[in-house]
């Protein structure tokens, strides 16, 4: 009992079945992470002055691109898992069994986001800044899926937070242990092990807090918050990657993902410094989508159509608008002069007609007050 309490137990399975439908913990964690990233990114984008709903529109492009990119990176960097003797190449498409490379997901996801941002007329770096903390939190949530899949752990350890890993059985497909069940909780020979996925989960949450703090304090813009996320994440991913014992390709004695972390860290630092020379963060008006219509805004096309309609209606009436104003003013002047002095009825209408075009262009509040009729003997 004391030994059990000194370690972290693993779940006995990562897949449940609702009738014929499999419910995979890994897939559910990925979906939950995407939802959190979109929700938080939407709030941050609106807080910066961006149009509400834009992040969801961006996600329609970025998420599918990111999933494809993440899977491609995994398959390309670990081809022996799918294309060697005894392996099934079609399993390269079995994304639900795990295997997404964050570097490929970010790279191809950025392509999808760029396409959507150009359609919206908004800057991609500003969108990346808004999404940065949500993305790294989504990665943290995704690591919970590795816990259910019982994968991506480190070497043996006697630390109190060591992870117990159990032997899983799958009678229908003995080689597919991800879909197996740990019956009897038989520990693997290396158990307990370093829960490296848990280390990365905690590190990612710290990076999210760092990005939020720095963004609030220094008003980061032009992609600098995203660069800070990349730099912070790669530092942690580098040393955690070296603790893992799963199969991986090596270059000059280091795992491929370690080299990737080093290169991306350097690139992120350089970008962070260079982007700082571009001045303050983007102005709020540059974050408004070009297809956004506010409650008091009228699309330009609608305004032009309305003006054309008014012009057409005045032409169909036979007289320009200022002519109608002149005629009505002349009639009013004539009626007021019928009880007045002789001669005023002929001079005043001419003056009104001459001033009619200018009066039609002025607002009602600028019109001169009507002259008071002169007193006659009859009054």
Among 124-138, 219-233, 257-271, 362-376, the range scoring the smallest mean pLDDT is 362-376
Is the predicted pLDDT of residue 156 greater than 80, yes or no? yes
- Predicted pLDDT at 252: 95
pLDDT given for residue 292 in this prediction: 77
Summarize the confidence of residues 144-159 as an average pLDDT. 94
182 belongs to a structural domain? no
pLDDT at position 300 is 40
Q: For 139-166, b where at least 16 C-beta lie within 10 A, e where not — what string?
A: bbbbbbbbbbbbbbbbeebeeeebbbbb
**pLDDT beyond 70 at 185:** yes
Whole-number percent of the chain with pLDDT over 90:
61
Of the candidates 97, 99, 102, the one whose C-alpha atom is nearest the C-alpha of residue 24 is 97
The secondary structure element, H or E, covering residue 113 is helix 102-120
Q: What pLDDT shows up at residue 370?
A: 46
pLDDT tens-place string over residues 307-360: 444 444 444 444 444 444 444 444 444 444 444 443 443 444 444 434 444 444
Higher pLDDT, 43 or 362: 43
CA gap 366, 76 in Å, rounded? 75
Name the pLDDT band for 247 (thresholds 50, 70, 90): confident
Write out the two tokens for 285: 């008006």
Determine the average pLDDT of the residues in 237-245: 95
Residue 307 lies in a domain: no
> If you average pLDDT over residues 48-57, what whole number do you get?
96
Total structural domains in the chain? 1
Place of tokens 């816990």: 147
379 vs 77 pLDDT, higher one: 77
- Is pLDDT above 60 for 89? yes
Residue 180 pLDDT greater than 50, yes or no: yes
Share of the chain residues as helix, strand and coil, in percent rounded to the nearest 5: 60, 5, 30
pLDDT at 216 (0 to 100): 97
Average pLDDT, rounded, for the chain: 81
- The answer to whether 200 and 144 are in contact (CB under 8 A) is no
pLDDT at 367 over 50: no
| Contact present, 130 and 50 (Cβ < 8 Å) | yes
- State the residue range of the domain holding 19: 2-162+189-287
Residue 210 located in a structural domain: yes
Asked, for residue 315, whether it belongs to a domain, the answer is: no
* 92 belongs to a structural domain: yes
The verdict on residue 142 lying in a domain is yes
pLDDT digits (tens, 9 = 90+) for 256-295: 999 999 999 999 999 999 999 999 999 999 999 988 765 4
More confident residue, 306 or 116: 116
Residue 335 lies in a domain: no
Cα-Cα-Cα-Cα dihedral sign, residues 108, 110, 114, 117: positive
- DSSP H helices, 150-253, are 196-218, 224-241
Inform me whether the pLDDT recorded for 60 exceeds 80: yes
Selected residue with higher pLDDT from 121 and 363 = 121
- Terminal Cα-to-Cα distance of the chain (whole angstroms): 117
Task: Report whether 282 contacts 123 (CB < 8 A).
Answer: yes
With pLDDT > 70 as the criterion, what percentage of the chain qualifies? 76
Contact between residue 329 and residue 352 where contact means Cβ atoms under 8 Å apart: yes
Handedness of CA 36, 214, 229, 195 (dihedral sign): negative
Q: How confident is the model at residue 181 (pLDDT cuts 50, 70, 90)?
A: very high
Contact (CB, 8 A) for 61 and 116: yes
Where residue 197 falls among pLDDT bands split at 50, 70, 90?
Answer: very high
């Amino acid at each position: 009992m004391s030994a059990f309490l000194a370690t972290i137990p693993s779940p006995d399975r990562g897949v449940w079945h609702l009738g014929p439908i499999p419910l995979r913990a890994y897939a559910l964690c990925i979906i939950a992470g995407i939802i959190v990233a979109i929700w938080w990114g939407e709030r941050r984008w609106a807080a910066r002055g961006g149009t509400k709903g834009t992040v969801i529109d961006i996600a329609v492009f970025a998420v599918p691109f990111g999933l494809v990119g993440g899977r491609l990176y995994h398959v390309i960097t670990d081809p022996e898992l799918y294309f060697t003797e005894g392996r099934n190449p079609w399993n390269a498409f079995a994304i639900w069994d795990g295997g997404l490379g964050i570097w490929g997901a970010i790279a191809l996801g950025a392509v999808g986001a760029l396409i959507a941002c150009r359609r919206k007329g908004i800057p991609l770096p500003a969108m990346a800044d808004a999404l940065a903390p949500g993305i790294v939190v989504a990665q943290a949530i995704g690591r919970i899926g590795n816990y259910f899949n019982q994968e991506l752990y480190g070497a043996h350890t006697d630390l109190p937070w060591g992870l117990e890993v159990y032997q899983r059985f799958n009678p229908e497909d003995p080689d597919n242990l991800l879909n197996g069940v740990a019956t009897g909780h038989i520990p693997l020979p290396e158990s307990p092990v370093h829960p490296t996925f848990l280390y990365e989960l905690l590190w990612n949450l710290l990076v999210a807090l760092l990005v939020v703090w720095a963004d609030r304090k220094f008003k980061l813009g032009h992609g600098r918050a995203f660069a800070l996320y990349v730099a912070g994440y790669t530092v942690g991913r580098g040393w955690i990657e070296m603790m893992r014992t799963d199969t991986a390709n090596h270059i000059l004695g280091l795992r491929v993902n370690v080299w990737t972390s080093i290169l991306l860290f350097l690139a992120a630092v350089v970008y962070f410094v260079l982007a700082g020379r571009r001045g303050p963060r983007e102005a709020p008006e540059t974050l408004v989508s070009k297809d956004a219509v506010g409650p008091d805004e009228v699309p330009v096309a609608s305004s032009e159509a309305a003006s054309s309609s008014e012009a057409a209606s005045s032409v169909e009436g036979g007289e320009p608008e200022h002519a109608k104003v002149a005629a009505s003013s002349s009639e009013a002047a004539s009626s007021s002069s019928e009880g007045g002095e002789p001669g005023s009825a002929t001079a005043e209408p001419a003056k009104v007609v001459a001033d009619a075009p200018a009066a039609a262009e002025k607002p009602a509040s600028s019109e001169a007050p009507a002259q008071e009729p002169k007193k006659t003997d009859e009054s």
